[in-house]
Amino acid sequence: MKLPDGWSRAQLLFDDENLVSCVGLVPVMALAERAGLSELVSGKVAITASAVASAGVNPAGKLTSIIAGMAAGADCIDDLDVIRSGGMPRLFGEVYAPATLGQFLREFTHGHGLQLASVARAHLVNLVERTGLLPGIETRAYVDIDSLLRPVYGHAKQGASFGHTKIAGRQVLRRGLSPLATTISTEQGAPVVAGIRLRAGKAGSGKGAASMVREAIATARAAGATGEILVRGDSAYGNSAVVAACVRAKVRFSVVLTKNRAVSAAIGAIGDDAWTPVHYPGAVVDPDTGELISDAEVAEVEFTAFASTKHPVTARLVVRRVRDRAKTEELFPVWRYHPFLTNSTEPVVAADLTHRRHAIIETVFADLIDGPLAHLPSGRFAANSAWAICAAITHNLLRAAGTLTSPSHAVARGTTLRRQVVNVPARLARPQRRPVLHLPAHWPWAQHWTTLWTKVFQIATGPPITA
């Protein structure tokens, strides 16, 4: 590809009000409305007292504007201006300026954040019902929980503090805010965000985990998870509160246990002939060394966890052991042991493979970090909390749109969906007062885009859902 020299003399005019750069927002936001987003916000979110009289007015219009901007690639408040460029105000009503949206977010309190979180859960349930998101959820669903640390650099960030995170396999202290998230996935369906809760950077990874797990289980069941539900988590969530929440909800659990005397004694009681070789379909990361491993051995033993609490739990202690290759001059094999507690009924090798797939939640974190959670834009903690919840709604909305587009888009990354589905240029026209969108000729994903448009606007999705 070569640019002709004549373009150096070209004149630039930003003056066409019939051009839009992200016409894919039309079917995507139509899908959001079909799933009742505006009705849910109007029925659940109410800002009655605000520092600025007009700031809390029309929360449905302002939140949908934020979500539309995020779907188009906005990762800060100023970037939300993308929904006002060119002919966008002709496509959508109630298009707000970034300053108005930032002022609106600053009116949020903790209670308003809980209201918006309720909207996110209900909207996810509606999306599953409308689009076939999470195929196979009626048979088996996986609920994963994990946290991450998003770095911040301004001194005025409420809640920002130093917390532990892992970079290149090493534990480091970093100043930031720590979202705790739960996801729901199936054997055939990519993960969606069941809930997200912003916390101070210094918050322990397991803080608030039990209530998050309970909400995620309820959301999964409301979305159609009538079969088995398996909750998975790493060592931060292998505690009595999380396991008790799973037991009370009558679901399966698979959580890593921190090694203590009791766990070490149980591992030592496993006979040498009880270990079964296991080969992972893809290499996994050793949490001790950060190196990739593809082979290990697993065994299981009955174990009573949390024996010193009021609610001890007896289940299977599945142990994975890996040869310590660093011991090059060993006389006897040296192993590293990684135990997790589970009440699943799968054979020991299958249980280990299923537990290792907990890492699927990292793909959701990668999508969020590569999108709306690249920044936490406000100085106020509650505003950043609302921003994180809007990011979760956007992730689920794009995932649902991808499900309607094609099988490959159903599991595509958010960046791919934005590039191929949302950020499509178009020219607006109204011959004989009929709206027409002129899209690029030879667009590689024209057929997929047309499929999404047809499924959203035809009877396949039905009328909008009321709150």
Residues 62, 420: Cα–Cα separation, whole Å? 26
pLDDT at position 52 over 90:
no
**7-16, 20-29, 294-303 — most confident range:** 20-29
The Cα angle at residue 424 between residues 419 and 428, in degrees rounded to 5: 170
**At 112, which helix (H) or strand (E)?**
helix 110-131
pLDDT (0 to 100) of residue 463 = 52
Q: If pLDDT is split at 50, 70 and 90, which confidence band does 458 have? A: confident
pLDDT (0 to 100) of residue 284 = 63
The predicted model scores a pTM of 0.93
Mean pLDDT, residues 79-97: 92
Using CA atoms, how far residue 104 sits from 47, 109, 272, 315, in Å, is 9, 11, 63, 49
- What pLDDT, in 10s, does the model give residues 168-220? 677 888 999 999 999 999 999 999 999 999 999 999 899 999 999 999 999 99
Q: Which of 390, 393, 467 is nearest to 105 (CA)?
A: 390
Q: If pLDDT is split at 50, 70 and 90, which confidence band does 349 have? A: very high
**Over the chain, what is the mean pLDDT?**
91
Q: Express the helix, strand and coil content of the chain in percent, nearest 5 each.
A: 40, 20, 35
Residues 35, 62: Cα–Cα separation, whole Å? 17
